Structure 1
Amino acid sequence: MHLFYTPILHEQTVILPEEESKHAIKVLRLVKGNFVNLVDGSGGFYKATIEQDNPKKCVLRIVETVKQFGYRPFHIHVAVAPTKNIDRIEWFLEKATEIGVNQISFLLCERSERKQVNLDRLEKVVVSAMKQSVKAYKPVLTDIIPFKEFIKNIQPDNTYIAHLEEHDRTPLHRINLRDSACVLIGPEGDFSPAEIKLAYEKNIKPITLGNSRLRTETAALVACHTLNLLYEMKIA
């Protein structure tokens, strides 16, 4: 299956972005009359035929449309402090997109070693994983934001903080899920006691991801996978 990404599809005739056009014509050697598939990142899945096989602007004509392709009646949000080694957070983005996630936010915490991210580069990782796993919904990426600011705007009823302090914590797989869930994952040095205290004051609930001490990106992926399983069992 040849699958391409192009956002905001409203017309029957579509011009692929130059990078996607080059891949279609120069790499895959597709020609006029060949059929391809498109996703728009908002749930649209399209079948199209190549009208002009130009490697700079490949022109397609949509012949079949499926709306809300792969729609899931729940919302998974992972807010994570990006790791010092950005390759590790890119790995998480790739795998979380393949498994299924609606939104990923980046947190700037007291113990964060990375204070900024290249959102354009990370968007490309997500788009590639979305196409590879044949998904029509692209996860929303939110640029890095201070932890204190982030928790001001969350819904505490469906937000959970995973930390390593010796507090009473509920295993994530035992929580009573609502239609959406947000899990907060701290940096390599964990959330600070002050940040945990702030979360508690906001009525964010503490959780544990198991007995093992996990790397940041592993913890974020475990949270994503666990939430997917819980929701799938809930709607089964």
Structure 2
Amino acid sequence: MQLFYHPNLEADAGDVSFDKDESRHISKALRKQHGDILFITNGRGFLFTAELSHVDHKSCLAKITSVEKKPALPYHLHLAVAPTKLNDRYEWFLEKATEIGVTEITPIICDHSERKVIKAERYERIIQSAMKQSLKVWKPELNPVISFNDFMKKSFSEEKKCIAHCYPSEKESLKHTIDAGDSVIILIGPEGDFSHLEVEQAVAEGFQTVHLGNSRLRTETAAIVACHSIAFINEG
């Protein structure tokens, strides 16, 4: 199954047209022909089945034959993760978190952050590609980059708020903190960890300090461990 992404496609659409890049991919790379079946998502839970009615490397058209609404994740997971010094490590995190299952991602700039500028458009393309590759029809939301201080001023709808850091303190294991179906937000700091002040600020805002195991993990690894832990708790 090959999944295509068309963000503007509505549930009641009868036809769909593809832009130049997707049309070239359909006609040249995949060698699709008139009458072939395509599967398309708008990233909002809908899976469309469509039959190609016109194939051209500049503009492909298809007629939608059926629409199905797929359920969202059985949990809400918001990962707020500091960008890594090496950009490819953060891109790896975005890809794998999308494959595993995450609701939204926020890049946060912390006191110890070495990278303070991100490539939002590239990040978005990576998430879209991972969504299609893993055959998911719900696209994670990539929020704008924000400073830690400004992030702490926001109102959070999540019922469980956690911060993972490496400082010695009384910390509960993440897996013993979360129950299936919980709405969760987890903060993961940069390579130099959160500052003491940031940890204190988060705790003051109601975040619970948690650990992800006995090993000291890189930022991107910690984020994936947290993501998989929540997915695992919700399995079955």
For 1:56-113, what per-residue CA distance to the aligned partner results, in whole angstroms no more than 9, with x for missing partners?
221111001111x242232111100010111001111111111111101000000001
For 2:49, the equivalent position in structure 1 comes to 47
Report the more deviating stretch, 19-28 or 172-181.
Answer: 172-181
What does residue range 1-236 of structure 1 map to in structure 2 within 5 Å? 1-10=1-10, 11-67=13-69, 69-153=70-154, 154-155=156-157, 157-177=159-179, 179-232=182-235, 236=236
Which secondary structure does the structure 2 equivalent of 1:143 belong to?
coil
Q: Is the contact made by 2:79 and 2:188 (CA closer than 8 Å) also made in structure 1? A: yes
TM-score, structure 2 normalization: 0.95
TM-score by length of 1: 0.95
* d(CA) in 2 for partners of 1:130, 1:34: 22
Structure 2: how far apart are the matches of 1:25 and 1:95? Answer: 29
Q: Secondary structure at the match of 2:7?
A: coil
**Structure with the bigger percentage of helix:** 1
Tell me, in whole angstroms, the C-alpha distance in 2 between the residues paired with 1:219 and 1:167: 18
**Cα displacement (A) at 1:8:** 2.4
Which amino acid in the other structure matches residue 206 of structure 2? N
Are the counterparts in 2 of residues 32 and 50 from structure 1 also a CA contact under 8 Å? Answer: yes
Identity within the alignment, %: 43
Amino acid of the residue matched to residue 50 of structure 2? A
CA distance in 2, matches of 1:16, 1:159: 41
Structure 1 residues 128 and 110 mapped into 2: Cα distance closer, same or farther (>3 Å)?
A: same
Say whether the 8 Å CA contact 2:6–2:40 is kept in structure 1.
Answer: yes
Residue type matched to 1:49 in 2? E
Q: Distance in 1 between matches of 2:191 and 2:73?
A: 32
Report Cα offsets for 1:111-161 as digits up to 9, x if no partner: 001101111101111111101110000000012100011122225741100
Query: Per the alignment, in what secondary structure is the counterpart of residue 95 of structure 1?
Result: helix
Distance 2:34 2:94 in 1: 34
**How far apart, in 2, do the equivalents of 1:142 and 1:213 lie?**
27
SS in 1 for 2:162: strand
Amino acid at match of 2:234: Y
RMSD: 1.3
Residue 133 of structure 1 aligns with an amino acid whose one-letter code is S
Give the residue type in structure 1 aligned to 2:189. Answer: G
My pick for the range that moved more, 154-163 or 42-51, is: 154-163
SS of aligned partner of 2:153? helix
How many residue pairs get aligned? The number is 232
Structure 2, unaligned runs of 5 or more: none
Corresponding letter in the other structure for 1:16 = F
Measure the CA separation in 1 of the matches of 2:165 and 2:41: 37
- Distance of 1:16 and 1:213 partners within structure 2: 46
Q: Distance in 2 between matches of 1:35 and 1:188?
A: 46
Q: Secondary structure of 1:47's partner?
A: strand
